A and B are shown apart, each in its own frame.
Chain A
Amino acid sequence: MFENLSEKLQRAFKNLRGQGTISEENIGEALREIRVGLLEADVNLNVVKDLIEHIRAKAVGQEVMTALSPTEQVIKIVRDELIALLGKDTARFQFASKPPTVILMAGLQGSGKTTTSGKLAAWLQKGGHRPMLVSVDVYRPAAREQLKVVAKSIKANLYEGDTKGEVAGTPLVERLAKEARREAVISGCDTLIVDTAGRLHIDEDLMGEMESLKKLLSPQEILFIADSMTGQDAVKSADEFHKRLALTGIILTKMDGDARGGAALSIRHVTGQPVKFIGMGEKPDAFEPFHPDRIVSRILGM
Protein backbone atom coordinates (compact mmCIF):
# COMPACT_ATOMS: atom_id res chain seq x y z
CA MET A 1 0.00 0.00 0.00
CA PHE A 2 2.94 2.34 0.56
CA GLU A 3 4.57 3.76 -2.48
CA ASN A 4 8.09 2.52 -2.55
CA LEU A 5 10.60 5.16 -1.48
CA SER A 6 12.63 4.39 -4.54
CA GLU A 7 9.65 5.25 -6.78
CA LYS A 8 9.16 8.51 -4.93
CA LEU A 9 12.81 9.40 -5.26
CA GLN A 10 12.79 8.56 -8.93
CA ARG A 11 10.05 11.12 -9.30
CA ALA A 12 11.99 13.63 -7.26
CA PHE A 13 15.08 13.11 -9.38
CA LYS A 14 13.42 12.90 -12.76
CA ASN A 15 15.21 16.00 -13.96
CA LEU A 16 18.55 15.22 -12.44
CA ARG A 17 19.98 12.91 -15.06
CA GLY A 18 22.77 14.65 -16.87
CA GLN A 19 23.05 17.48 -14.35
CA GLY A 20 26.38 16.29 -13.07
CA THR A 21 26.19 16.83 -9.33
CA ILE A 22 23.68 16.52 -6.54
CA SER A 23 23.08 20.03 -5.23
CA GLU A 24 21.13 21.80 -2.48
CA GLU A 25 18.51 22.69 -5.09
CA ASN A 26 18.03 19.37 -6.80
CA ILE A 27 18.04 17.25 -3.65
CA GLY A 28 15.35 19.29 -1.87
CA GLU A 29 12.36 17.34 -3.11
CA ALA A 30 14.10 14.01 -2.54
CA LEU A 31 14.86 14.95 1.05
CA ARG A 32 11.23 15.90 1.56
CA GLU A 33 10.16 12.47 0.29
CA ILE A 34 12.68 10.77 2.57
CA ARG A 35 11.42 12.78 5.52
CA VAL A 36 7.82 11.79 4.85
CA GLY A 37 8.83 8.16 4.37
CA LEU A 38 10.65 8.06 7.69
CA LEU A 39 7.80 9.76 9.53
CA GLU A 40 5.30 7.32 8.03
CA ALA A 41 7.53 4.53 9.34
CA ASP A 42 7.22 6.03 12.85
CA VAL A 43 10.80 7.24 13.16
CA ASN A 44 10.83 9.97 15.79
CA LEU A 45 10.55 13.54 14.52
CA ASN A 46 13.85 14.71 16.02
CA VAL A 47 15.68 11.62 14.82
CA VAL A 48 14.33 12.29 11.34
CA LYS A 49 15.59 15.85 11.49
CA ASP A 50 19.12 14.70 12.40
CA LEU A 51 19.07 12.02 9.76
CA ILE A 52 17.97 14.40 7.03
CA GLU A 53 20.80 16.78 7.85
CA HIS A 54 23.34 13.96 7.73
CA ILE A 55 21.96 12.71 4.44
CA ARG A 56 21.98 16.20 2.99
CA ALA A 57 25.58 16.77 4.04
CA LYS A 58 26.67 13.45 2.56
CA ALA A 59 24.79 13.83 -0.70
CA VAL A 60 25.32 17.43 -1.68
CA GLY A 61 28.29 17.91 -3.93
CA GLN A 62 28.47 14.27 -4.95
CA GLU A 63 29.01 13.67 -8.62
CA VAL A 64 26.19 11.73 -10.18
CA MET A 65 27.96 8.48 -10.90
CA THR A 66 27.56 6.81 -14.22
CA ALA A 67 27.16 3.38 -12.63
CA LEU A 68 24.29 4.41 -10.35
CA SER A 69 21.26 6.59 -11.01
CA PRO A 70 20.93 9.57 -8.65
CA THR A 71 18.07 7.70 -7.00
CA GLU A 72 20.22 4.67 -6.33
CA GLN A 73 23.00 6.88 -5.12
CA VAL A 74 20.82 8.71 -2.59
CA ILE A 75 19.16 5.49 -1.46
CA LYS A 76 22.58 4.08 -0.76
CA ILE A 77 23.42 7.11 1.36
CA VAL A 78 20.12 6.81 3.24
CA ARG A 79 20.62 3.09 3.81
CA ASP A 80 24.18 3.51 5.02
CA GLU A 81 23.09 6.26 7.36
CA LEU A 82 20.28 4.18 8.88
CA ILE A 83 22.44 1.09 9.23
CA ALA A 84 25.13 3.17 10.91
CA LEU A 85 22.53 4.47 13.34
CA LEU A 86 21.28 0.97 14.14
CA GLY A 87 24.80 -0.39 14.51
CA LYS A 88 26.27 -2.99 12.19
CA ASP A 89 27.29 -5.36 14.94
CA THR A 90 24.94 -8.26 15.53
CA ALA A 91 24.53 -8.03 19.25
CA ARG A 92 26.09 -10.50 21.61
CA PHE A 93 24.72 -11.64 24.88
CA GLN A 94 26.52 -10.95 28.15
CA PHE A 95 27.07 -13.92 30.44
CA ALA A 96 28.24 -13.66 34.02
CA SER A 97 31.65 -15.08 34.91
CA LYS A 98 30.01 -16.65 37.93
CA PRO A 99 26.51 -18.04 37.25
CA PRO A 100 23.68 -17.39 37.32
CA THR A 101 23.55 -14.73 34.64
CA VAL A 102 20.57 -12.55 35.48
CA ILE A 103 18.41 -11.03 32.74
CA LEU A 104 15.90 -8.39 33.70
CA MET A 105 12.97 -7.88 31.32
CA ALA A 106 11.58 -4.34 31.34
CA GLY A 107 8.99 -2.39 29.43
CA LEU A 108 5.59 -0.80 29.10
CA GLN A 109 2.34 -2.70 29.60
CA GLY A 110 1.57 -5.25 26.94
CA SER A 111 4.84 -4.87 25.02
CA GLY A 112 5.55 -8.61 25.14
CA LYS A 113 7.76 -9.15 28.19
CA THR A 114 6.22 -12.42 29.39
CA THR A 115 6.04 -13.99 25.94
CA THR A 116 9.59 -12.87 25.20
CA SER A 117 10.84 -14.26 28.52
CA GLY A 118 9.70 -17.67 27.29
CA LYS A 119 11.27 -17.14 23.89
CA LEU A 120 14.57 -16.14 25.43
CA ALA A 121 14.51 -19.19 27.69
CA ALA A 122 13.85 -21.44 24.69
CA TRP A 123 16.68 -19.75 22.78
CA LEU A 124 19.06 -20.26 25.70
CA GLN A 125 18.01 -23.90 26.04
CA LYS A 126 18.80 -24.44 22.38
CA GLY A 127 22.22 -22.96 23.00
CA GLY A 128 22.90 -25.51 25.72
CA HIS A 129 22.04 -23.32 28.69
CA ARG A 130 19.84 -24.09 31.67
CA PRO A 131 17.63 -21.07 32.20
CA MET A 132 15.23 -20.50 35.06
CA LEU A 133 12.21 -18.24 34.75
CA VAL A 134 10.56 -16.17 37.46
CA SER A 135 7.70 -13.70 37.28
CA VAL A 136 7.74 -10.83 39.74
CA ASP A 137 4.56 -9.39 38.23
CA VAL A 138 2.46 -9.53 41.37
CA TYR A 139 0.12 -6.85 40.04
CA ARG A 140 -1.55 -7.87 36.77
CA PRO A 141 -4.27 -10.49 36.99
CA ALA A 142 -2.94 -13.96 36.12
CA ALA A 143 0.45 -12.60 35.03
CA ARG A 144 2.36 -15.18 37.07
CA GLU A 145 0.04 -17.92 35.88
CA GLN A 146 0.77 -16.84 32.29
CA LEU A 147 4.52 -17.32 32.71
CA LYS A 148 3.89 -20.67 34.34
CA VAL A 149 1.97 -21.87 31.29
CA VAL A 150 4.68 -20.51 28.99
CA ALA A 151 7.46 -22.21 31.00
CA LYS A 152 5.60 -25.50 30.93
CA SER A 153 5.14 -25.33 27.16
CA ILE A 154 8.90 -25.13 26.65
CA LYS A 155 9.78 -27.38 29.60
CA ALA A 156 11.83 -24.67 31.23
CA ASN A 157 12.53 -24.37 34.95
CA LEU A 158 10.27 -21.94 36.74
CA TYR A 159 10.57 -20.55 40.22
CA GLU A 160 6.99 -20.17 41.27
CA GLY A 161 7.37 -19.05 44.85
CA ASP A 162 4.59 -18.49 47.27
CA THR A 163 2.78 -15.19 47.53
CA LYS A 164 0.99 -16.33 50.72
CA GLY A 165 -1.74 -13.74 50.44
CA GLU A 166 0.95 -11.10 50.98
CA VAL A 167 0.04 -7.64 49.66
CA ALA A 168 1.17 -6.94 46.12
CA GLY A 169 4.05 -4.52 46.41
CA THR A 170 7.78 -4.04 46.11
CA PRO A 171 8.72 -6.06 49.23
CA LEU A 172 6.99 -9.11 47.76
CA VAL A 173 8.64 -8.49 44.39
CA GLU A 174 12.06 -8.33 46.05
CA ARG A 175 11.45 -11.46 48.07
CA LEU A 176 10.44 -13.45 44.98
CA ALA A 177 13.48 -12.20 43.05
CA LYS A 178 15.88 -13.10 45.86
CA GLU A 179 14.38 -16.55 46.34
CA ALA A 180 14.48 -17.21 42.60
CA ARG A 181 18.17 -16.41 42.41
CA ARG A 182 18.92 -18.72 45.29
CA GLU A 183 16.80 -21.43 43.68
CA ALA A 184 18.63 -20.99 40.36
CA VAL A 185 21.96 -21.58 42.09
CA ILE A 186 20.68 -24.58 44.01
CA SER A 187 19.19 -26.25 40.96
CA GLY A 188 22.20 -25.57 38.78
CA CYS A 189 20.58 -23.12 36.38
CA ASP A 190 23.09 -20.84 34.67
CA THR A 191 20.65 -18.09 33.75
CA LEU A 192 17.74 -16.44 35.51
CA ILE A 193 15.18 -14.54 33.44
CA VAL A 194 13.15 -12.13 35.52
CA ASP A 195 9.80 -11.17 33.99
CA THR A 196 8.52 -7.94 35.49
CA ALA A 197 5.16 -6.18 35.49
CA GLY A 198 4.49 -3.71 32.69
CA ARG A 199 4.85 -0.14 33.88
CA LEU A 200 4.72 3.38 32.60
CA HIS A 201 7.99 5.33 32.50
CA ILE A 202 6.27 8.11 34.45
CA ASP A 203 5.16 5.81 37.27
CA GLU A 204 7.50 6.94 40.03
CA ASP A 205 6.83 4.03 42.40
CA LEU A 206 7.10 1.27 39.86
CA MET A 207 10.19 2.76 38.22
CA GLY A 208 11.72 2.89 41.70
CA GLU A 209 10.86 -0.79 42.04
CA MET A 210 12.85 -1.55 38.87
CA GLU A 211 15.82 0.31 40.32
CA SER A 212 15.69 -1.73 43.51
CA LEU A 213 15.42 -4.95 41.50
CA LYS A 214 18.53 -3.92 39.62
CA LYS A 215 20.36 -3.21 42.84
CA LEU A 216 19.28 -6.50 44.31
CA LEU A 217 20.14 -8.71 41.34
CA SER A 218 23.00 -6.90 39.54
CA PRO A 219 21.74 -8.23 36.22
CA GLN A 220 24.12 -8.72 33.30
CA GLU A 221 21.38 -7.81 30.84
CA ILE A 222 18.56 -5.32 31.28
CA LEU A 223 16.45 -5.62 28.17
CA PHE A 224 13.83 -3.14 27.05
CA ILE A 225 10.99 -5.01 25.39
CA ALA A 226 9.35 -2.67 22.89
CA ASP A 227 6.33 -3.07 20.64
CA SER A 228 7.26 -2.49 16.98
CA MET A 229 3.93 -0.74 16.41
CA THR A 230 4.91 2.11 18.74
CA GLY A 231 4.88 5.60 17.29
CA GLN A 232 6.46 8.88 18.33
CA ASP A 233 6.21 8.17 22.07
CA ALA A 234 8.87 5.43 21.86
CA VAL A 235 11.70 7.84 22.64
CA LYS A 236 10.08 9.11 25.82
CA SER A 237 9.59 5.71 27.41
CA ALA A 238 12.91 4.28 26.20
CA ASP A 239 14.78 7.35 27.36
CA GLU A 240 13.30 7.18 30.86
CA PHE A 241 13.88 3.42 31.23
CA HIS A 242 17.45 3.92 30.08
CA LYS A 243 18.08 6.82 32.46
CA ARG A 244 16.77 4.81 35.39
CA LEU A 245 18.25 1.42 34.58
CA ALA A 246 21.07 1.75 32.04
CA LEU A 247 19.58 -0.71 29.58
CA THR A 248 21.89 -3.16 27.84
CA GLY A 249 19.72 -4.00 24.88
CA ILE A 250 16.39 -3.87 23.12
CA ILE A 251 14.00 -6.53 21.87
CA LEU A 252 11.48 -5.45 19.27
CA THR A 253 8.27 -7.50 19.36
CA LYS A 254 5.35 -8.14 17.01
CA MET A 255 7.52 -7.76 13.94
CA ASP A 256 5.40 -10.44 12.23
CA GLY A 257 2.87 -7.72 11.39
CA ASP A 258 3.18 -4.92 8.86
CA ALA A 259 4.39 -2.12 11.12
CA ARG A 260 7.41 -0.46 9.54
CA GLY A 261 9.24 -0.46 12.85
CA GLY A 262 10.78 3.00 12.80
CA ALA A 263 10.63 2.90 16.60
CA ALA A 264 13.75 0.71 16.42
CA LEU A 265 15.73 3.67 15.09
CA SER A 266 14.29 6.02 17.68
CA ILE A 267 14.96 3.73 20.62
CA ARG A 268 18.45 2.91 19.44
CA HIS A 269 19.15 6.61 18.92
CA VAL A 270 17.96 7.66 22.35
CA THR A 271 19.49 4.78 24.35
CA GLY A 272 22.56 3.99 22.26
CA GLN A 273 21.85 0.33 23.02
CA PRO A 274 21.62 -2.35 20.33
CA VAL A 275 18.48 -4.15 19.26
CA LYS A 276 19.38 -7.75 20.07
CA PHE A 277 16.38 -9.77 18.96
CA ILE A 278 13.06 -9.42 17.25
CA GLY A 279 9.79 -11.18 18.08
CA MET A 280 8.08 -12.70 15.05
CA GLY A 281 4.96 -14.27 16.54
CA GLU A 282 3.23 -15.52 19.65
CA LYS A 283 4.89 -18.94 19.83
CA PRO A 284 8.11 -19.54 21.80
CA ASP A 285 10.21 -20.19 18.69
CA ALA A 286 9.11 -17.02 16.86
CA PHE A 287 12.30 -15.26 17.84
CA GLU A 288 15.23 -14.12 15.73
CA PRO A 289 18.50 -12.28 16.10
CA PHE A 290 18.31 -8.74 14.80
CA HIS A 291 19.63 -7.82 11.36
CA PRO A 292 19.98 -4.05 10.86
CA ASP A 293 19.89 -4.23 7.07
CA ARG A 294 16.55 -6.05 7.05
CA ILE A 295 14.82 -3.53 9.23
CA VAL A 296 16.28 -0.68 7.23
CA SER A 297 14.70 -2.14 4.09
CA ARG A 298 11.45 -2.42 5.97
CA ILE A 299 11.57 1.15 7.28
CA LEU A 300 12.25 2.36 3.78
CA GLY A 301 9.41 0.22 2.46
CA MET A 302 11.60 -1.62 -0.02
Chain B
Amino acid sequence: ALTREVDEGALEELEMSLLASDLGVTTTTEIIDALRERAKRQQIRDGAELKELLKAQIKGILDDQQRPPHVVNSPPEVIMMVGVNGTGKTTTTGKLAAYFRAQGKSVLMCAADTFRAAAIEQLEVWGQRSGVEIIKTRQGGDPSAALFDALQAAKARSNDVLIVDTAGRLHTKNSLMAELDKMRRTTQRIVPDAPHEVLLVMDATTGQNGLQQARLFTESAGVTGIVLTKLDGTAKGGIVVAIARELELPVRFVGVGEKIEDLLPFDSAAFVDSLLGA
Protein backbone atom coordinates (compact mmCIF):
# COMPACT_ATOMS: atom_id res chain seq x y z
CA ALA B 1 0.00 0.00 0.00
CA LEU B 2 1.19 3.49 -0.73
CA THR B 3 1.25 4.95 2.73
CA ARG B 4 2.58 8.40 3.33
CA GLU B 5 4.35 7.49 6.51
CA VAL B 6 8.00 8.05 7.10
CA ASP B 7 10.06 5.88 9.36
CA GLU B 8 10.42 8.29 12.29
CA GLY B 9 12.86 5.95 14.00
CA ALA B 10 15.21 6.05 11.03
CA LEU B 11 14.84 9.83 10.83
CA GLU B 12 15.75 10.19 14.46
CA GLU B 13 18.80 8.01 14.02
CA LEU B 14 19.97 10.21 11.16
CA GLU B 15 19.27 13.28 13.25
CA MET B 16 21.52 11.89 15.98
CA SER B 17 24.36 11.21 13.52
CA LEU B 18 24.19 14.78 12.27
CA LEU B 19 24.29 16.18 15.80
CA ALA B 20 27.15 13.84 16.67
CA SER B 21 29.06 15.20 13.67
CA ASP B 22 28.79 18.83 14.84
CA LEU B 23 26.25 20.13 12.32
CA GLY B 24 24.53 21.85 15.23
CA VAL B 25 20.90 21.88 16.32
CA THR B 26 19.60 24.55 13.94
CA THR B 27 21.13 23.11 10.80
CA THR B 28 20.27 19.55 11.77
CA THR B 29 16.65 20.41 12.50
CA GLU B 30 16.23 22.23 9.20
CA ILE B 31 17.83 19.42 7.25
CA ILE B 32 15.79 16.70 8.97
CA ASP B 33 12.53 18.65 8.54
CA ALA B 34 13.23 19.08 4.84
CA LEU B 35 14.13 15.41 4.59
CA ARG B 36 10.87 14.39 6.23
CA GLU B 37 8.89 16.47 3.71
CA ARG B 38 10.77 15.08 0.74
CA ALA B 39 10.46 11.56 2.06
CA LYS B 40 6.70 12.02 2.31
CA ARG B 41 6.45 13.36 -1.22
CA GLN B 42 8.62 10.64 -2.65
CA GLN B 43 7.08 7.98 -0.44
CA ILE B 44 10.32 6.78 1.02
CA ARG B 45 10.04 4.63 4.06
CA ASP B 46 13.08 2.59 4.80
CA GLY B 47 16.25 3.79 6.49
CA ALA B 48 18.65 3.03 3.66
CA GLU B 49 16.70 5.07 1.12
CA LEU B 50 16.26 7.85 3.62
CA LYS B 51 19.99 7.98 4.21
CA GLU B 52 20.73 8.25 0.49
CA LEU B 53 18.28 11.11 0.22
CA LEU B 54 19.91 12.86 3.17
CA LYS B 55 23.36 12.43 1.68
CA ALA B 56 22.19 13.97 -1.58
CA GLN B 57 20.65 16.84 0.35
CA ILE B 58 23.82 17.65 2.30
CA LYS B 59 25.96 17.23 -0.78
CA GLY B 60 23.68 19.75 -2.47
CA ILE B 61 24.19 22.29 0.32
CA LEU B 62 27.97 21.97 -0.06
CA ASP B 63 28.00 21.89 -3.86
CA ASP B 64 25.85 25.03 -4.06
CA GLN B 65 28.78 26.98 -2.67
CA GLN B 66 31.38 25.66 -5.08
CA ARG B 67 32.38 28.26 -7.63
CA PRO B 68 34.62 28.02 -10.65
CA PRO B 69 38.22 29.00 -9.92
CA HIS B 70 38.72 32.76 -10.12
CA VAL B 71 40.61 34.32 -12.95
CA VAL B 72 43.84 35.94 -11.88
CA ASN B 73 44.23 39.04 -14.01
CA SER B 74 47.58 40.15 -12.72
CA PRO B 75 49.74 37.54 -10.99
CA PRO B 76 50.80 36.72 -8.38
CA GLU B 77 47.70 34.98 -7.13
CA VAL B 78 47.71 35.85 -3.44
CA ILE B 79 46.31 33.35 -0.93
CA MET B 80 46.02 34.34 2.73
CA MET B 81 45.72 31.68 5.41
CA VAL B 82 43.77 32.75 8.48
CA GLY B 83 42.16 31.12 11.49
CA VAL B 84 42.10 30.59 15.23
CA ASN B 85 45.11 29.16 17.08
CA GLY B 86 46.46 25.74 16.27
CA THR B 87 44.16 24.73 13.43
CA GLY B 88 46.86 23.95 10.86
CA LYS B 89 47.56 27.20 8.99
CA THR B 90 51.33 26.83 8.82
CA THR B 91 51.17 23.15 7.91
CA THR B 92 48.58 23.83 5.22
CA THR B 93 50.65 26.72 3.86
CA GLY B 94 53.52 24.26 3.36
CA LYS B 95 51.30 21.59 1.83
CA LEU B 96 49.67 24.10 -0.51
CA ALA B 97 53.04 25.37 -1.67
CA ALA B 98 53.96 21.81 -2.66
CA TYR B 99 50.54 21.31 -4.25
CA PHE B 100 50.92 24.33 -6.54
CA ARG B 101 54.52 23.51 -7.32
CA ALA B 102 53.45 20.06 -8.45
CA GLN B 103 51.19 21.86 -10.93
CA GLY B 104 54.24 23.54 -12.36
CA LYS B 105 53.57 26.92 -10.77
CA SER B 106 56.25 29.11 -9.25
CA VAL B 107 55.40 29.70 -5.62
CA LEU B 108 56.54 31.97 -2.82
CA MET B 109 55.57 31.81 0.86
CA CYS B 110 55.36 34.64 3.35
CA ALA B 111 55.97 34.05 7.06
CA ALA B 112 53.60 36.67 8.45
CA ASP B 113 53.24 35.01 11.85
CA THR B 114 55.80 37.08 13.67
CA PHE B 115 54.14 36.46 17.02
CA ARG B 116 54.15 32.78 17.97
CA ALA B 117 57.36 31.20 19.22
CA ALA B 118 59.28 29.55 16.35
CA ALA B 119 56.47 30.02 13.85
CA ILE B 120 58.97 31.33 11.29
CA GLU B 121 61.33 28.37 11.82
CA GLN B 122 58.37 26.04 11.40
CA LEU B 123 57.51 27.55 8.02
CA GLU B 124 61.18 27.47 7.03
CA VAL B 125 61.16 23.69 7.42
CA TRP B 126 58.12 23.55 5.14
CA GLY B 127 60.06 25.72 2.71
CA GLN B 128 62.83 23.13 2.61
CA ARG B 129 60.35 20.29 2.24
CA SER B 130 58.50 21.90 -0.64
CA GLY B 131 61.49 23.59 -2.21
CA VAL B 132 59.72 26.92 -1.97
CA GLU B 133 61.37 30.10 -0.82
CA ILE B 134 60.01 32.12 2.05
CA ILE B 135 60.03 35.82 2.78
CA LYS B 136 60.20 36.64 6.45
CA THR B 137 61.07 39.23 9.02
CA ARG B 138 62.26 38.70 12.58
CA GLN B 139 60.00 37.45 15.38
CA GLY B 140 58.17 40.39 16.89
CA GLY B 141 58.35 42.31 13.64
CA ASP B 142 55.41 43.87 11.81
CA PRO B 143 53.55 41.20 9.83
CA SER B 144 52.37 43.80 7.32
CA ALA B 145 55.99 44.72 6.61
CA ALA B 146 56.86 41.08 5.89
CA LEU B 147 53.80 40.89 3.70
CA PHE B 148 54.79 44.07 1.85
CA ASP B 149 58.23 42.63 1.13
CA ALA B 150 56.75 39.32 -0.01
CA LEU B 151 54.29 41.03 -2.36
CA GLN B 152 57.08 43.11 -3.91
CA ALA B 153 59.29 40.04 -4.24
CA ALA B 154 56.54 37.94 -5.81
CA LYS B 155 55.88 40.69 -8.35
CA ALA B 156 59.55 41.21 -9.10
CA ARG B 157 60.10 37.48 -9.63
CA SER B 158 56.82 37.00 -11.52
CA ASN B 159 55.71 34.25 -9.17
CA ASP B 160 52.40 32.60 -9.97
CA VAL B 161 51.31 32.15 -6.39
CA LEU B 162 52.09 33.80 -3.05
CA ILE B 163 50.84 32.00 0.07
CA VAL B 164 50.73 34.04 3.27
CA ASP B 165 50.82 32.27 6.64
CA THR B 166 49.36 34.44 9.41
CA ALA B 167 49.41 34.11 13.19
CA GLY B 168 46.57 32.23 14.84
CA ARG B 169 44.12 34.56 16.55
CA LEU B 170 40.78 34.24 18.23
CA HIS B 171 38.02 35.97 16.26
CA THR B 172 36.94 37.81 19.41
CA LYS B 173 40.17 39.83 19.65
CA ASN B 174 39.41 43.06 17.86
CA SER B 175 42.93 44.43 17.56
CA LEU B 176 44.24 41.18 16.09
CA MET B 177 41.34 41.02 13.67
CA ALA B 178 42.02 44.63 12.65
CA GLU B 179 45.58 43.59 11.88
CA LEU B 180 44.24 41.09 9.34
CA ASP B 181 42.14 43.79 7.77
CA LYS B 182 45.25 45.93 7.48
CA MET B 183 47.13 43.09 5.82
CA ARG B 184 44.32 42.63 3.37
CA ARG B 185 44.45 46.33 2.47
CA THR B 186 48.22 46.23 2.08
CA THR B 187 47.75 43.35 -0.34
CA GLN B 188 45.10 45.18 -2.35
CA ARG B 189 47.31 48.22 -2.68
CA ILE B 190 50.16 46.28 -4.21
CA VAL B 191 48.39 43.62 -6.24
CA PRO B 192 45.03 44.68 -7.70
CA ASP B 193 42.20 42.15 -7.06
CA ALA B 194 44.29 40.51 -4.36
CA PRO B 195 43.99 38.65 -2.05
CA HIS B 196 42.35 36.25 -4.47
CA GLU B 197 41.67 33.69 -1.80
CA VAL B 198 41.42 34.08 1.94
CA LEU B 199 41.27 30.57 3.37
CA LEU B 200 39.88 30.04 6.85
CA VAL B 201 41.69 27.02 8.24
CA MET B 202 39.39 25.09 10.54
CA ASP B 203 40.08 22.03 12.64
CA ALA B 204 37.59 19.19 12.00
CA THR B 205 37.10 18.79 15.75
CA THR B 206 35.61 22.29 15.97
CA GLY B 207 32.20 22.52 17.56
CA GLN B 208 29.52 25.17 17.30
CA ASN B 209 32.01 27.99 17.81
CA GLY B 210 33.10 27.39 14.21
CA LEU B 211 30.13 29.35 12.93
CA GLN B 212 31.15 32.44 14.84
CA GLN B 213 34.76 31.98 13.69
CA ALA B 214 33.60 31.93 10.08
CA ARG B 215 31.33 34.93 10.59
CA LEU B 216 33.95 37.17 12.21
CA PHE B 217 36.90 36.15 10.02
CA THR B 218 34.71 36.87 7.01
CA GLU B 219 33.94 40.34 8.36
CA SER B 220 37.56 41.25 9.03
CA ALA B 221 39.53 39.25 6.52
CA GLY B 222 37.02 38.56 3.74
CA VAL B 223 37.16 34.78 3.87
CA THR B 224 36.51 33.13 0.49
CA GLY B 225 36.73 29.47 1.50
CA ILE B 226 37.48 26.89 4.17
CA VAL B 227 40.29 24.39 4.60
CA LEU B 228 39.09 21.61 6.89
CA THR B 229 42.07 20.01 8.62
CA LYS B 230 42.67 16.89 10.72
CA LEU B 231 40.03 14.85 8.93
CA ASP B 232 42.31 11.86 9.48
CA GLY B 233 40.99 11.71 13.04
CA THR B 234 37.50 10.62 14.07
CA ALA B 235 35.89 14.07 13.87
CA LYS B 236 33.68 14.62 10.86
CA GLY B 237 33.84 18.41 10.56
CA GLY B 238 30.09 18.79 10.18
CA ILE B 239 30.26 22.46 11.17
CA VAL B 240 31.20 23.24 7.54
CA VAL B 241 27.67 22.27 6.52
CA ALA B 242 26.27 24.87 8.90
CA ILE B 243 28.83 27.37 7.58
CA ALA B 244 27.92 26.62 3.95
CA ARG B 245 24.24 27.12 4.72
CA GLU B 246 24.51 30.26 6.78
CA LEU B 247 27.53 32.01 5.36
CA GLU B 248 27.69 30.57 1.85
CA LEU B 249 31.34 29.64 2.11
CA PRO B 250 32.75 26.71 0.12
CA VAL B 251 35.17 24.13 1.47
CA ARG B 252 38.26 24.24 -0.77
CA PHE B 253 40.68 21.67 0.66
CA VAL B 254 40.88 19.08 3.39
CA GLY B 255 43.87 18.11 5.52
CA VAL B 256 44.27 14.40 6.18
CA GLY B 257 47.58 14.15 7.99
CA GLU B 258 50.81 15.88 8.88
CA LYS B 259 52.79 14.98 5.79
CA ILE B 260 53.32 17.17 2.76
CA GLU B 261 51.02 15.12 0.53
CA ASP B 262 48.19 15.03 3.09
CA LEU B 263 46.13 17.76 1.43
CA LEU B 264 43.23 17.03 -0.92
CA PRO B 265 40.88 19.22 -2.92
CA PHE B 266 37.46 19.06 -1.27
CA ASP B 267 35.27 16.21 -2.50
CA SER B 268 31.69 16.63 -1.31
CA ALA B 269 30.72 13.04 -2.11
CA ALA B 270 33.58 11.64 -0.06
CA PHE B 271 32.70 14.07 2.71
CA VAL B 272 29.08 12.94 3.03
CA ASP B 273 30.18 9.30 2.81
CA SER B 274 32.42 9.86 5.79
CA LEU B 275 29.68 11.80 7.58
CA LEU B 276 26.95 9.18 7.23
CA GLY B 277 28.67 6.03 6.03
CA ALA B 278 29.09 4.96 2.43
Contacts and interface: CB of A to CB of B under 8 A. Distances in A.
Contact of A45 (B19, B118, B122, B209): B19
B21 interface: yes
Nearest to A230: B205
Contacts of A153: 117
A146 interface: yes
B126 A141 contact: yes
Interface string B118-129: 110110111000
A110 B234 contact: no
Nearest to A139: B258
Interface in B201-232: 203-210, 212-213, 230, 232
Contact of B19 (A111, A146, A232, A262): A232
A39 interface: yes
B50 to A, nearest CB: 20
Interface string A134-176: 0000011111011111100100000000000000000000000
Interface string A200-239: 1110000000000000000000000001011111101100
B170 A254 contact: yes
Given A236-B234, A258-B172, A258-B212, A145 B118 contact: yes
Nearest to A145: B118
Nearest to B19: A45
B212 A232 contact: no
B278 interface: no
Contacts of B258: 109, 139-140
Nearest to B209: A259
A292 interface: no
A110 B85 contact: yes
A201 B25 contact: no
Contacts of A259: 207, 209
B117 A227 contact: no
A40 B26 CA distance: 9
Contact of A227 (B121, B205, B234): B205
Which of A41, A148, A227, A263 counts the most chain B CB atoms within 10 A?
A227
A233 B233 contact: yes
A65 B262 CA distance: 60
29 contacts: A39-B19, A41-B208, A45-B16, A45-B20, A108-B205, A109-B88, A112-B86, A141-B126, A142-B125, A145-B122, A146-B119, A146-B121, A146-B122, A147-B117, A148-B118, A153-B117, A227-B86, A231-B207, A232-B19, A232-B20, A233-B22, A233-B205, A237-B233, A257-B170, A257-B171, A257-B209, A258-B170, A258-B212, A262-B207
Interface of B: 16, 19-22, 24-25, 84-88, 115-119, 121-122, 124-126, 139, 170-173, 203-210, 212-213, 230, 232-236, 239, 258
Interface of A: 1, 36, 39-42, 45, 108-112, 114, 139-143, 145-150, 153, 200-202, 227, 229-234, 236-237, 254, 256-260, 262-263, 282
Given A231-B239, A232-B21, 15 more contacts: A39-B24, A108-B205, A142-B125, A146-B118, A149-B117, A200-B230, A229-B203, A229-B213, A231-B22, A231-B208, A233-B205, A236-B235, A257-B209, A258-B212, A282-B115
